């Protein structure tokens, strides 16, 4: 419905895909470098990183996504192409692409992410050059996709790792299940508890205004509306999903 | 199976029931005094409380359960009897009772909980006398029930608030759903993310060794084994539930 | 000048005297239970205590003063009388006394101090009963003295531990010197740096409006004016001392 | 005595000189961008910065020294030459110079300082380019001077801002006094309280093993011994100064 085919920056929704690729590439050892717990409130993110010796709390906070990007750089010659090919195939849209202006803008103003990456490097949890990790991260945030593209790309998470369009296994069954659990507990920044309470679906939001979600074994969905609430998630998107799960009775709870 | 009829101290599992009673008594305004977000790591619990002006992050950390107990004291003449009657009815076991020795032991050594209660009082988030709130809290932790009792008492959470034995609505549908979401994101102390990842069910653990859980619309269960892992949850109980959901494919994800 | 003979609650200024008595009673081992470092900003006081395993940063934050009071309870049969006798002798005023109404008011509303004391107890850094420690602490804060009394009682700190009126050694030379250093770095709550910058004298403030200070080898002084600045120290008192040291050139720097 | 003429990297001792130059250049407005309070324990430095909106606690922690360097870059065309000329003149040693190998090594491995600088930039408290600020900071740490040089360069702090060799006023009287107060409360990293307690002199240490100090109106001194204690200050140097002030009775307390 609406602007379902309008492309936008998927921003943090990209973290779900890079995590999926990293779990396939690295296996369970990935979780020696990044945790699986909600981060609590934002103000403690940096002290948490120091206190826990450079292990980010989960792969969806920025520090965790930087570590995930670092593992992709270590395992693949060209992770930027890998990610794009993956998303083109999943969405069925060959036009999925990086928006170079957005990536450049992130690079120029991303002082906080640059601070995090240097801090991770100082704590020994980045293998690659700081600027190379940031370049990959800024690019993944700048991927342009539509709500329809994202909803399709989320289908394997609702279908035990299998792409229902092609029948191809995109992720291991256990990985799909576990990524859903991480989205449920950590997917909505510091508001994952409230989102689980109101909506009750594993989901990932991005500051571009997208929220992609799944009901395991049933469906995937994506809403997009740029105005954000105070937690950084789409205001109208969250409301639409709350109405959807309440009126339909479709939720994991 | 096993010692399913052996009574033990349910400890923090009691927080699910007091929360349910408080949601019925107070309604959504309850969440102006206690949050719905995971707390992050333990070390910041006190600074978080101060930073967020005395609003505990969720009803399952001790500070939050003290606020919930405070609301029951304000709304009911005899909350101790109310809780016992509720659990006897749900479990079908009239012998559910407070263990006075355990309650007394908690009272004598509960310096940290007494610190939390006084801190909440100083921040304006307790209405009743500090010692009265602590007395109720120490008693709810000292309730003696068996694994079978707890599994039965959790059935309404798996059944949209209705007691399947009697057909009686124990909680509003929306409350049952929301308590499940709170158990999923906050039920296992600071290890809720890892538990969701490994087991994938809404659950609540207690330091007595119990873990009670539900699969919405399907079943409730309780495991009990006193040896605890480093996060304060039953070691064998968590392993048993992980094997159960992996081999059966029964989980919300 | 002015209301120099008007008695008021000395509040936290009492911490200097209890520390002096504890250093005499316990010796250097005292500093295995309480630190000697400034505490940084207030918001981290509780997390600091947990992070540093129950060792308060210095004897002038409330947690540190509670530990000091605990040592006096362990070493003396009647520390309340000990403290009063000490201050009567130093000030030359036999009317120095506890104000029972103030002590009772502290007891009834001191939820935060009660939280701290229970937290210290839970971390193993109080030997005596929590309420006994609080009772002593609430009484020491409720001592009624005048500005003239306090200035006289501070003379030994300016005179290498010797009471210049009587020639009696009240404290060891090294203790007097070290208490001065602790007042310089930690005496003014979280504003010790700013006070050193503006005034340049070892000093201790109390929320009753007093600031007592010394210029080693030269003088002691006390100002009293109840209006407090945002850091909890006397607004006019700080300004008066800043004018005094700037115009006279008398400061340790 | 000893290796008094052996040059070494002065490291953080340089922060005293850049602060002095910045106070002259900017005046009291400098302290709207950097505080004057001890920082408390190290673990909270980053969260403190965030909590206090990018205002470092004092000019001697790394974040504060980066802000000071930023002000010099904004006010002077060539702050590197300014600093060298200043130190050559004060020490009477025209050979004072930057050690380019040390500066380059700092640049290559200074991930934590780069994290801090980017974090300050993201919080709006750096005017200049992050790499330019870091370049100046890494150079000031790499200044090579001897203990004799540093002792001479500290003389104006002991002499109300006047260089006793030349009679030239190097700093305003009030600035010299205030820099002494900042050294007393904040000069020894997180061990300023313990150093004041043991030694009792305003001082600044560097991880190169130097401790420079003053007794106002009497003397300046510098000790150098590279082995560091757990707080990052010279182990033998601190002990030597403690013996010196105890046996001579020379201290501000």
The verdict on a CB contact (< 8 Å) between D115 and A119 is: yes
Confidence of residue A197 (pLDDT cuts 50, 70, 90): very high
Of all residues in chain A, what percent are helix, strand and coil, respectively (each to 5)? Answer: 55, 10, 35
> Do D43 and C37 count as a contact with CB atoms less than 8 A apart?
no
Search chain A and give the residue with CA nearest D126. A111
Please give, rounded to a whole number of angstroms, the shortest distance from the CA of C154 to a CA of chain D: 14
Chain D: partners with 3+ C-beta pairs within 8 Å = A, C
Rounded CA-CA distance A32/D135 in Å is: 35
- Of residues A47 and D117, more confidence is placed in D117
Question: Which residue among D48, D58, D190 places its CB closest to the CB of C193?
Answer: D58
**Inter-chain touch C38–D192, beta carbons under 8 Å:** yes
Q: Is residue B204 predicted with pLDDT exceeding 50?
A: yes
Q: Which of A44, A58, A197 minimises the CB distance to B193?
A: A58
C207 and C228 Cβ atoms separated by less than 8 Å: yes
Annotation marks residue D12 as catalytic: yes
A93 touches chain B (CB under 8 A): no
> What is the pLDDT confidence band of residue B190, given thresholds at 50, 70 and 90?
confident
The model's confidence at residue B43, banded by pLDDT at 50, 70 and 90, is very low
Closest CA to C217 of C177, C183, C168, C171: C177
> Per-residue pLDDT tens for C176-197?
999 999 999 999 988 999 999 9
Q: For D115, which of A43, A47, A115 is closest by C-beta distance?
A: A115
Task: Identify which of B51, B112, B121 has the shortest CB distance to residue C122.
Answer: B112
Tell me the C-alpha to C-alpha distance, in Å, between residue B43 and each of A40, B47, B121: 11, 8, 21
Q: Which residues on D lie below 8 Å from A50 (Cβ)?
A: 43, 46
At residue D53 the predicted structure's pLDDT band, cuts being 50, 70 and 90, is: confident
Whether D38 sits inside 8 A of C36 (CB atoms) is no
Q: What is the pLDDT of residue A115?
A: 93
Placement of tokens 């005179």 in the chain: C159
| H/E run at residue B141 | helix B130-141
Q: Is D115 on the interface with A (CB under 8 A)?
A: yes
B182/A197 touch (CB, cutoff 8 Å), yes or no: yes
- Measured CA to CA, the distance from residue B253 to residue A213 in angstroms comes to 12
* Residues of B identified as active-site: 12, 15, 137, 189, 207
Nearest to A66 by CA among A123, A27, A149: A123
Q: Is D47 on the interface with A (CB under 8 A)?
A: yes
* Number of Cα atoms under 13 Å in the Cβ half of residue B237: 29
pLDDT tens profile B3-34: 999 999 999 999 999 999 999 999 999 999 99
Name the C residues in 49-68 with CB < 8 Å from any D CB. Answer: 51-52, 57-58
C1 vs B: CB within 8 A? no
Top-ranked range on mean pLDDT: pick from B17-21, B164-168, D47-51, D107-111: B17-21
**Closest CB to D197 among C36, C251, C252:** C36
Asked which of A189-193, B67-71, B112-116, B128-132 is least confident by mean pLDDT, the reply is: A189-193
List pLDDT tens digits, range A75-119: 999 999 999 999 999 999 999 999 999 999 998 889 999 999 999
Count of B-C CB contacts under 8 Å:
51
Give the three-class secondary structure for D104: helix
**Which of A43, A111, A116 lies at the smallest CB-CB distance from D50?**
A43
Please report how many Cα atoms fall inside a 13 Å half-sphere around the Cα of residue B213, on the Cβ side: 31
Given D137, D146, D171, D233, the catalytic residue: D137
Chain A residues with CB under 8 Å of D43 CB are 47, 50-51
pLDDT at A41: 58
Per-residue b or e along C154-193, where b marks 16 or more CB atoms closer than 10 Å to that residue's CB: bbbbbbbbbbeeeeeebbeeebbbbbbbbbbbbbbbbbbb
Mind giving me the DSSP string for B183-246? HHHHTTGGGHHHHHHHT-S-EEE-TTSEEEEEETTTEEEEEE---B-TTSSBHHHHHHHHHHHH
Choose the mutation target among D41, D42, D122, D128 for the interface with A, i.e. most A CBs under 10 Å: D122
Chain C CB within 8 Å of residue B107 CB: no
Residues in chain C: 253
Instruction: Summarize pLDDT for D75-97 with one digit per residue, the tens.
Output: 999 999 999 999 999 999 999 99
Segment B44-71 mean pLDDT:
86
Confidence of residue C50 (pLDDT cuts 50, 70, 90): confident
Task: Read off the pLDDT band of D100 (50, 70, 90).
Answer: very high
The confidence score (pLDDT) of residue D64 equals 95
Question: Mean pLDDT for chain B?
Answer: 94
Both tokens assigned to A45: 């993110």
Q: Please tell me the distance from the alpha carbon of residue B5 to that of residue D248, in angstroms, as a whole number.
A: 77
Task: Calculate the alpha carbon distances from C6 to A155, C9, C149 in Å.
Answer: 78, 10, 10
For B120, counting Cβ atoms within 10 Å of its Cβ (0-12 exposed, 13-18 middle, 19+ buried), the class is buried
Rounded to a whole number, what is the distance in Å from the CA of B58 to chain C's nearest CA? 19
Non-local (6+) Cβ contacts of B59 within 8 A are B15, B19, B22, B34, B36, B65, B67, B68, B182, B186
Contact B253 A178 (CB under 8 A): yes
pLDDT value at residue A252:
96
Q: Which residues of C touch D58 (CB under 8 A)?
A: 193
Based on the residue annotation, tell me whether A189 is a catalytic residue of this protein. yes
* pLDDT grade for A189, boundaries at 50, 70 and 90: confident
Helices vs strands, H then E, count in chain C? 12, 6
- Separation between Cα atoms, residue D143 and residue D132, nearest integer Å: 17
How many CB pairs below 8 Å do chains A and B form together? Answer: 118
Break chain B into its structural domains and give their ranges: 8-248
**pLDDT value of residue D42:** 56
pLDDT in tens, C92-101: 999 999 999 9
Q: Could you give the CA distance from residue B141 to residue C227 in angstroms, rounded to a whole number?
A: 46
Q: Confirm if D215 and D242 have CB atoms less than 8 A apart.
A: no
- pLDDT of amino acid D139: 98
C145 forms beta bridges with: C8
Q: Residues of A with CB below 8 A from B182's CB?
A: 193, 196-197
Digit-coded pLDDT (tens) for D25-52: 999 999 999 999 988 655 456 667 877 7
Alpha helices in C110-172, H assignment, sequence order:
111-122, 130-141, 147-153, 155-158
Q: Enter the ipTM.
A: 0.92
Say yes or no to pLDDT of B45 above 90.
no
For residue D190, name the pLDDT band (cuts at 50, 70, 90). Answer: confident
Given C189, C223, C225, C233, the catalytic residue: C189
On the question of pLDDT at C144 being above 60, the answer is yes
CA separation for the pair B106, C151 (Å, rounded): 47
Q: ∠ at Cα A55 (B251, A75), nearest 5°?
A: 80
Instruction: Residue window 184-243, chain C: list those with CB within 8 Å of chain D.
Output: 184-186, 190-194, 196-197, 200, 202, 216
Say yes or no: C107 contacts chain D, CB-CB below 8 A: no
Closest-CA distance, A113 to chain D, in angstroms, reads 8
- Count the residues in chain A: 253
A233 neighbors A188 (Cβ within 8 angstroms) = yes
State whether B186 and A193 contact (CB < 8 Å): yes
Please pick, among A80, A105, A162, A207, the residue that the annotation labels catalytic: A207
More confident residue, B91 or C51: B91
Closest by Cα among D18, D7, D6 to D138: D18
Give tens-digit pLDDT for D136-164. Answer: 999 999 999 999 999 999 999 999 999 99
pLDDT over 90 for what percent of chain A? 89
Query: Which residue among B50, B121, B130 sits closest to C46, beta carbon to beta carbon?
Result: B50
Nearest to D176 by CA among D201, D151, D209, D154: D154
Is B193 close to A36, i.e. CB distance below 8 A? yes
CATH homologous superfamily of A8-248: DD-peptidase/beta-lactamase superfamily (3.40.710.10)
As to burial, measured by CB atoms within 10 angstroms (0-12 exposed, 13-18 middle, 19+ buried), residue B165 is: middle
- Burial of residue C227 (CB within 10 Å: 0-12, 13-18, 19+) is exposed
Average pLDDT score, chain D: 94
**If pLDDT is split at 50, 70 and 90, which confidence band does C42 have?**
low
The strand pairing partners of B220, in sequence order, are B214
């Amino acid at each position: 419905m609406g602007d379902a085919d309008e492309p936008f920056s998927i921003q943090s929704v990209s973290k779900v895909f890079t995590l999926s690729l990293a779990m396939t590439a690295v296996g369970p050892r990935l979780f020696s470098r990044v945790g699986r717990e909600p981060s609590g409130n934002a103000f403690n993110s940096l002290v948490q990183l120091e206190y826990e010796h450079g292990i980010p709390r989960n792969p969806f906070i920025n520090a965790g996504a930087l570590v995930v990007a670092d593992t992709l750089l270590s395992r693949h010659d060209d992770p930027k192409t890998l990610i794009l090919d993956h998303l083109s195939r999943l969405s069925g849209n060959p036009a999925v692409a990086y928006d170079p202006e957005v990536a450049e803008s992130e690079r120029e103003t991303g002082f906080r992410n640059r601070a995090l990456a240097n801090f991770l490097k100082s704590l020994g949890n980045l293998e690659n050059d700081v600027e190379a990790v940031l370049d990959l991260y800024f690019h993944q945030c700048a991927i342009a996709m539509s709500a329809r593209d994202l909803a399709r790309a989320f289908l394997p998470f609702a279908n035990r790792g299998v792409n229902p369009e092609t029948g191809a296994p995109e992720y291991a069954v256990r990985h799909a299940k576990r990524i859903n659990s991480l989205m449920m507990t950590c997917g909505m920044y510091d508001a994952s508890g409230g989102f689980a309470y109101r909506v009750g679906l594993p989901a990932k939001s991005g500051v571009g205004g997208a929220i992609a979600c799944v009901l395991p074994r049933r469906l995937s969905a994506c809403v997009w509306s740029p105005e954000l609430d105070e937690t950084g998630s789409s205001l109208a998107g969250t409301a639409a999903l709350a109405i959807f799960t309440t009126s339909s009775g479709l939720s994991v709870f």
